């Protein structure tokens, strides 16, 4: 399907989903929840949100240092904002901004393929931790809350599949077999002329990724620590988000909100339009809270993400990168 049509279809699907949700939950009821907001909770929410981005920049810095690359955490923080903004505003399941992050590293004299390998490692760890938290979130639902019909079975199967796929990818990496080259060959992507995939360059690229998981064990464990710190901060972030709308969420409730939000943003819909609201309405229904609160949380998160995205796009303009050319470059894996 043409990329423009895919973008249009995903936007329309998201708008329809959001319209159906707002049709069932009056917008005035959602807005009314923000009357509970106070300055302290808003400031703490913004502070923790920025600390999370810094923790993620630190994780990326650890990966870069494992390859003897030194870039300041401030620069990586800005580069992540650019990547985040592009991924958030495009139907790419949070992946569209990753080649741009690698291209930004080129400004520091880092080979594009080498930089992209660190981004792939970073993204693999991020998705894997999301899979683990989603799985744990589903288990909490099954043991703590009563789920209607076959909902529990469907959620558990989805979580198991998600976690199994990530487990398989980790196993392939640690065993030195990799998955990128084999996946391209299985899908016959290397035969698509428009992609212009160079098999030799792809193999060399994957070797850099495998090295991290096989040999840089200390750095790998440090990235897990950074991810764990990020998740702890995220719990505080949603604690303050709940307080902003007058809801004091418990640890279990925050766990569910965060894990399902992460999965919702994996769908290839710009800004998680509709999918984010649906995930939170589902969670709030299961835990017995007003659905309007779920939508309000989504709106709050979306406002923060849009602000980050605008800042990211302004930085992209400052750096003078062409998104289309950069993504094509990632297919060719050239320096």
Residues 6+ apart with CB under 8 A from 244: 34, 36, 37, 38, 41, 42, 45, 300
Per-residue pLDDT of the chain in tens (335 residues, 90 and over written 9): 456 666 677 777 778 877 888 788 888 888 888 887 899 999 999 999 999 999 999 999 999 999 889 999 999 999 999 988 888 777 655 556 788 888 899 888 888 888 888 888 888 888 888 778 778 877 877 777 766 667 677 778 878 887 888 888 888 888 877 777 666 666 554 454 544 455 666 677 778 788 888 888 899 899 999 999 998 999 999 999 999 999 999 888 888 788 777 767 666 677 777 778 888 888 888 888 888 888 899 889 889 988 998 898 888 888 876 666 655 555 455 44
Give the count of beta carbons closer than 10 Å to the beta carbon of residue 52. 18
Q: Which of 184, 130, 187 is nearest to 162 (CA)?
A: 130
What does R_g of the chain's alpha carbons equal in angstroms?
A: 20
- What are the structural domain ranges in the chain? 42-137+148-232+265-275+297-332
Cα 183 to Cα 177: distance, rounded to the nearest angstrom: 12
């Amino acid at each position: 399907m043409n990329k423009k049509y895919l973008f249009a279809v995903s936007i329309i699907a998201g708008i329809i989903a959001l319209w159906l949700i707002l049709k069932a939950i009056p917008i005035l009821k959602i807005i009314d929840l923000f009357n509970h907001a106070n300055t302290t909770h808003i400031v703490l929410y913004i502070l923790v949100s920025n600390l999370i981005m810094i923790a993620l920049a630190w994780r990326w810095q650890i990966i870069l240092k494992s390859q003897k690359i030194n870039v300041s955490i401030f620069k990586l923080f800005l580069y992540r904002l650019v990547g985040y903004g592009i991924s958030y505003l495009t139907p790419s399941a949070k992946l569209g901004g990753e080649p741009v992050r690698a291209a930004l590293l080129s400004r520091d004299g880092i080979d594009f393929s080498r930089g992209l390998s660190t981004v792939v490692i970073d993204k693999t760890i991020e998705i894997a931790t999301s899979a683990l938290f989603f799985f744990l979130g589903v288990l909490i639902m099954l043991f703590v809350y009563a789920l209607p019909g076959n909902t529990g079975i469907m959620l558990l199967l989805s979580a198991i599949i998600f976690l199994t796929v990530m487990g398989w990818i980790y196993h392939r990496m640690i065993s030195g077999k990799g998955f990128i080259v084999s996946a391209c060959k299985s899908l016959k992507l290397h035969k698509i002329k428009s992609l212009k995939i160079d098999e030799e360059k792809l193999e060399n690229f994957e070797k850099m990724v495998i090295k991290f998981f096989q040999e840089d064990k200390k750095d790998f464990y440090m990235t897990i620590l950074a991810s764990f710190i990020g998740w702890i901060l995220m719990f505080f972030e949603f604690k303050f988000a709940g307080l902003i709308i007058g809801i004091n969420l418990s640890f279990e409730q925050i766990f569910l909100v965060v894990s399902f939000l992460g999965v919702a943003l994996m769908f290839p819909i710009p800004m998680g339009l509709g999918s984010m609201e649906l995930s939170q309405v589902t969670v709030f229904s299961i835990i017995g809270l007003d659905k309007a609160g779920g939508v309000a949380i989504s709106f709050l998160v979306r406002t923060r993400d849009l602000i980050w995205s605008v800042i990211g796009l302004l930085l992209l303009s400052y750096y003078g990168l062409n998104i289309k050319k950069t993504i094509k470059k990632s297919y060719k894996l050239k320096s």
